[in-house]
Amino acid sequence: MYSDKVMDHFSNPRNVGVIEDPDGYGEAESTSCGDTIEVYIRVEDERLAEIKYRTFGCAAAIASSSFASELLTGAPLQKVPAITDAEIADQLGLPEFKYHCSVMVMQALHAAVQYYQAKSQTPAAADATT
Ligand code: FES
């Protein structure tokens, strides 16, 4: 059912974990199954220097999280909002009926970038979260 690429990312997921005191944080829940994800980012020079995540979901969701974290580490922040879950699913080679499992990783990653950008623009608000 799954390609070698999906099985590789599922069996050996990259970048799993949390970042203490992250620059950005986002979470998402799949509306179709209730699975969840937490994404943490560290930013350097307006690029995603590090991405960590904890995915509580199926094999396709774990593989999507791993693949997205690997693909987007080092990416300019401004590029991230334009990257869709469909692109992740397509490049990873998910079967079409599992495309929905790639949605939450990009939702959470987009939220983490928005969190960082909001924090950067309003330093006083950032103090309130610590
Ligand atoms: Fe829940 Fe795949 S079935 S994310």
pLDDT at 124: 54
Using CA atoms, how far apart are residues 82 and 60, in angstroms rounded to an integer? 22
User: Tens digits of per-residue pLDDT, 25-53?
Assistant: 999 999 889 999 999 999 999 999 999 99
Q: Is 68 in the pocket of ligand 1 (CB under 6 A)?
A: no
pTM of the model: 0.91
User: Tens digits of per-residue pLDDT, 86-130?
Assistant: 999 999 999 999 999 999 999 999 999 999 999 988 755 555 445
How much is the mean pLDDT over the chain? 93
Residue 101 is a catalytic residue: yes
Q: Which of 3, 7, 31, 33 is catalytic?
A: 33
For ligand 1, the distance from its centroid to the CA atom of residue 54, given in whole angstroms, is 14
What are 71-77's contacts with CB under 8 Å, separation 24+? Answer: 72/48, 72/109, 73/15, 73/48, 73/49, 74/47, 74/48, 74/49, 75/47, 75/48, 76/46, 76/47, 77/43, 77/46, 77/47, 77/48, 77/113, 77/116, 77/117
